[in-house]
Amino acid sequence: MESKAISNLATLITDDFADAVKLIYNSKGRVIITGIGKSAIIANKIVATLNSTGTPAIFMHAADAIHGDLGLILKDDVVICISKSGNTPEIKVLVPLIKSAKNKMIAITGNTDSFLGQQADFVLNAYVEQEACPNNLAPTTSTTAQLVMGDALAVCLLELRGFSSNDFAKYHPGGALGKKLYLRVHDISSVNQKPQVHLNTGIKEVIIEISEKMLGVAAVVENEKIIGIITDGDLRRMLTKVDDFSTLTAKDIMSANPKHINVDAMAVDALEVMETNGISQLLVEDNGNYAGVVHLHDLIKEGII
Long-range CB contact pairs, 146-150, < 8 A, 24+:
146/39, 146/42, 146/82, 146/84, 146/108, 147/42, 147/45, 147/46, 148/6, 148/9, 149/9, 149/108, 149/124, 150/42, 150/45, 150/46, 150/49, 150/108
Amino acid 181: pLDDT: 66
List, for residues 120-174, the tens digit of each pLDDT value: 999 999 999 999 989 988 999 999 999 999 999 999 999 999 988 777 767 666 6
Residues 61-75 have a mean pLDDT of: 92
What burial class does residue 187 get, using C-beta atoms within 10 Å of its C-beta: 0-12 exposed, 13-18 middle, 19+ buried? middle
Of the listed ranges 79-88, 181-190, 210-219, 277-286, the one predicted with least confidence: 181-190
Q: Would you give the distance in Å from CA 234 to the centre of its chain?
A: 39
pLDDT in tens, 245-293: 888 999 999 999 999 999 999 888 999 999 999 999 999 999 999 999 9
What is the Cα gyration radius of the chain? 30
Q: How far is CA 277 from the centre of its chain?
A: 26
Q: 2-163: which CATH number, 3.40.50.10490, 1.20.1250.20, 3.40.50.2000, 3.30.420.240?
A: 3.40.50.10490
Lowest mean pLDDT across 98-107, 125-134, 233-242:
233-242
- Is the model's pLDDT at 38 over the cut of 80? yes
So where are the chain's domains? 2-163, 185-301
Instruction: Establish whether 172 is an annotated binding residue.
Output: no
pLDDT band at 110 (very low <50, low <70, confident <90, very high): very high
Whole-number pLDDT of residue 301:
85
Query: pLDDT, tens digit, for every residue of 50-66?
Result: 998 999 999 999 999 98
> Helix 141-161 and helix 2-12: axis angle, to 10°?
50
CATH topology of domain 185-301: CBS-domain (3.10.580)
Are 94 and 43 in contact by the 8 Å Cβ rule? The answer is no
Q: Is the pTM of this model over 0.85?
A: no
What average pLDDT does the segment 105-128 reach? 97
Q: Pick the more confident residue, 24 or 66.
A: 24
Give the chain's mean pLDDT. 92
Asked if 2-163 and 185-301 have one fold, the answer is no
Give the helix ranges, DSSP H, for the chain. 2-12, 15-26, 38-52, 62-65, 89-100, 115-119, 141-161, 165-171, 175-182, 185-189, 203-213, 232-241, 250-253, 267-277, 296-301
Q: Which residues contact 208 (CB under 8 A, 6 or more apart)?
A: none
DSSP state of 286: E
302: pLDDT strictly greater than 90: no
Burial zone of 85 (CB within 10 Å; 0-12 exposed, 13-18 middle, 19+ buried): middle
